[in-house]
Amino acid sequence: MEKHKDHKPHQCSECLKCFSKKGSLVAHMRVHTGDKPYQCSECLKCFSEKGSLVAHMRVHTGDKPYQCSECLKCFSKKGSLVRHMRVHTGDKPYQCSECLKCFSEKGSLVAHMRVHTGDKPYQCSECLKCFSEKGNLVAHMRVHTGDKPYQCSECLKCFSQKTSLVAHMRVHTGDKPYQCSECLKCFSEKGNLVAHMRVHTGDKPYQCSECLKCFSEKGNLVAHMRVHTGDKPYQCSECLKCFSDKNSLVAHMRVHTGDKPYQCSECLKCFSRKGSLVAHMRVHTGDKPYQCSECLKCFSTGDKKTESCETCESTYRR
């Protein structure tokens, strides 16, 4: 009489799990005993099952017997091939019970679940900051070690994170993959597109705690705060004069270098500051944006301070 295919007469005395073959029970018992009788002759690492040792030996031999029928890529483990095939099939058998998002690998689902549980099992030994994924901890540790393993093949500049290198490479390639849906302007970094969109939305999320003035970019708020603190971190190496923002220092340096990068397209006269060129262009355009509030006479020049009208001696401003 043929034995029933589900017959499992061999039971584990520890967890009561049943097996159809005695050899399977013997191998299973090592889960409880911790016995690892199979040892690698190369690195002396031990395993509880012979099959695990056979698979491990491919680390040393470089053997990859499992080949993908689609792209011919080879793998040392059958499980790795099975997971790889989902790249071609699009199969995502692991589903999140909370948001129903699907994943191709169990490990990805496990990591994703921490979004819902808030679990952060990976802790930095230096500053004790915690992370939900091991990869994020590894990347964070470079803040402490100063390690920069990702190097640009063009200028040899190094980065601590791969994403930073990818973004940097666009400096050389000129690639700008992020496009504004309003004006179609393109940017090399997503953060720059996000900041640019505020030009269209008018959003100014960064507010000064002193005067409550709002800004569309964090950098502008940081620079503005120096109006209140009086901080001038940018110093001229020639005359030691200090400035609150980098652009002012760059413009000032032209006093020493004599550089005049802004040229008038009409008379070819050059200027060290863009504002000076803009004011000069009114000589050619006839534009007079400054008006006297009393006699309504208009003028082509003026500054941020009020000036005196030559006709009625009243003050005027733009």
Per-residue confidence (pLDDT) for residue 310, from 0 to 100: 62
Per-residue confidence (pLDDT) for residue 293, from 0 to 100: 75
Per-residue confidence (pLDDT) for residue 294, from 0 to 100: 77
Per-residue confidence (pLDDT) for residue 314, from 0 to 100: 59
Strand (E) or helix (H) holding 60: helix 50-61
Q: How many angstroms separate the CA atoms of 253 and 239, rounded?
A: 10
Query: pLDDT tens digits, residue range 91-133?
Result: 999 999 999 999 999 999 999 999 999 999 999 999 999 999 9
Among 155, 175, 195, which residue terminates a domain? 175
Residue 25 has pLDDT above 60, yes or no: yes
For residue 57, tell me if it sits in a domain: yes
| Other CB atoms within 10 A of residue 99 CB | 11
For residue 7, tell me if it sits in a domain: no
Per-residue confidence (pLDDT) for residue 283, from 0 to 100: 87
For residue 10, tell me if it sits in a domain: no
Per-residue confidence (pLDDT) for residue 315, from 0 to 100: 58
Per-residue confidence (pLDDT) for residue 208, from 0 to 100: 94
Query: pLDDT tens digits, residue range 224-238?
Result: 999 999 999 999 999
Residue 4 has pLDDT above 80, yes or no: no
* pLDDT averaged over every residue in the chain: 89
For residue 146, tell me if it sits in a domain: yes
For residue 76, tell me if it sits in a domain: no
For residue 52, tell me if it sits in a domain: yes
Residue 103 and residue 171 in one domain: yes
Query: pLDDT tens digits, residue range 154-168?
Result: 999 999 999 999 999
Query: pLDDT tens digits, residue range 257-292?
Result: 999 999 999 999 999 888 888 888 888 988 888 888
Query: pLDDT tens digits, residue range 121-131?
Result: 999 999 999 99
Query: What backbone phi and psi angles, to 5 degrees, belong to 229?
Result: -85, -25
Residue range 1-9: mean pLDDT, rounded: 64
Query: What backbone phi and psi angles, to 5 degrees, belong to 12?
Result: -75, 130
Per-residue confidence (pLDDT) for residue 268, from 0 to 100: 92
Q: How many angstroms separate the CA atoms of 40 and 46, rounded?
A: 6
Per-residue confidence (pLDDT) for residue 309, from 0 to 100: 64
Query: pLDDT tens digits, residue range 285-297?
Result: 888 888 887 778 8
> 7: pLDDT confidence band, cut at 50, 70 and 90?
confident
Domain that holds residue 219: 206-284
Half-sphere exposure of 310 (CA within 13 A, CB side): 5
Query: What backbone phi and psi angles, to 5 degrees, belong to 33?
Result: -85, -25
What pTM does this model have? Answer: 0.50
Residue range 27-31: mean pLDDT, rounded: 90
> 2: pLDDT confidence band, cut at 50, 70 and 90?
very low
Per-residue confidence (pLDDT) for residue 157, from 0 to 100: 95
Query: pLDDT tens digits, residue range 32-44?
Result: 999 999 999 999 9
Residue 53 and residue 109 in one domain: no
> 312: pLDDT confidence band, cut at 50, 70 and 90?
low
Residue 172 has pLDDT above 60, yes or no: yes
Residue 107 and residue 56 in one domain: no
Cα-based distances in Å from 305 to 273, 290, 315, 317, 318? 19, 12, 10, 7, 10
Share of the chain above pLDDT 70, in %: 93
For residue 192, tell me if it sits in a domain: no
Residue 306 has pLDDT above 80, yes or no: no
Beta bridge pairs of residue 235: 242
Look at the block and give the residue holding tokens 């005196």.
308
Query: What does the buried/exposed string (b/e) look like for 61-95 if buried means 16 or more CB atoms within 10 Å of the residue's CB?
Result: eeeeebeeeeeeeebbeeebbebbeeeeeeeeebe
CATH code of the domain covering residue 33: 3.30.160.60
For residue 265, tell me if it sits in a domain: yes
What's the number of domains the chain is made of? 3
Residue 225 and residue 162 in one domain: no
